[in-house]
């Protein structure tokens, strides 16, 4: 279990292959699926990624029990009361939407199809998930600590409009 790329070793390369399988950019063989479904729930998801990270790096005891997404208008951040093992988010956007994933994570990757993007951030080291310009709407978000999905509070929709009349 865990040797996703079937090279006889369990390492970060296996995490990358599994992330790509969960994102839908890589179709695992039946044998790869079997060794990748680490929690034996019949699907590949971020819980399997977190289990694989735990196999390589060891488990954590400072697990988050809840998270909150914060939208600053330029960055999407995650606030948690402990360790976050992985985040998977699906969002819709228009053509002028541009974003840059954090570099401060074990793995951060995405897959865009038309105006829908799915991203995965594994073991984020800071609050920032991505910076952006344009607008987007979150369709789905899943967050896991080192062993289970945890609740997520989504940001409320905010909008900045011009001040009129300008009092200054």
The string of pLDDT tens digits covering residues 35-65 is 999 999 999 999 999 999 999 999 899 999 9
pLDDT at 162 over 80: no
**43 burial type by CB count under 10 A (0-12 exposed, 13-18 middle, 19+ buried):** exposed
CB 44 within 8 A of CB 28: yes
Task: For residue 114, give both structure tokens.
Answer: 């038309």
Residue 49 — φ and ψ, nearest 5°?
-60, -45
The model's confidence at residue 133, banded by pLDDT at 50, 70 and 90, is very high
pLDDT tens-place string over residues 91-115 = 999 999 999 999 999 999 999 999 9
3-state secondary structure 89-154: EEEEECCCCEEEECCCEEEEEEEEECCEEEEEEEEECCCEEEEEECCEEEEEEEEECCCCEECEEC
d(Cα 112, Cα 102) in Å, to the nearest integer? 17
Per the prediction, the chain carries an average pLDDT of 94
pLDDT at position 155, please? 87
Q: Is-contact 43 35, C-beta < 8 A?
A: no
Q: What is the DSSP string of 25-66?
A: SS---HHHHHHH-TT-SSS--HHHHHHHHHHHH---SSB-S-
149 pLDDT above the threshold of 60? yes
d(CA 92, CA 96): 12
Q: How far apart are the C-alpha atoms of 150 and 95, rounded to whole Å?
A: 32
């Amino acid at each position: 279990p865990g040797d996703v790329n079937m090279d006889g070793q369990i390492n970060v390369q296996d995490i990358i292959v599994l992330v790509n399988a969960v994102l839908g950019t890589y179709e695992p063989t039946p044998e790869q699926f079997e060794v990748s479904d680490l929690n034996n729930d019949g699907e590949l998801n971020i819980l399997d990624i977190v289990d694989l990270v735990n196999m390589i790096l060891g488990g954590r005891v400072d697990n988050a029990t809840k998270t909150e997404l914060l939208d600053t208008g330029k960055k999407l951040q995650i606030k948690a009361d402990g360790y976050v093992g992985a985040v998977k988010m699906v969002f819709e956007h228009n053509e002028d939407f541009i974003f840059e994933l954090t570099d401060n994570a074990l793995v951060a990757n995405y897959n865009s199809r038309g105006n829908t993007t799915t991203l995965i951030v594994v073991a984020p080291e800071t609050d920032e998930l991505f910076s952006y310009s344009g607008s987007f709407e979150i369709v789905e978000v899943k967050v896991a600590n080192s062993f289970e999905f945890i609740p997520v509070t989504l940001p409320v929709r905010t909008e900045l409009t011009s001040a009129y009349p300008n009092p200054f």
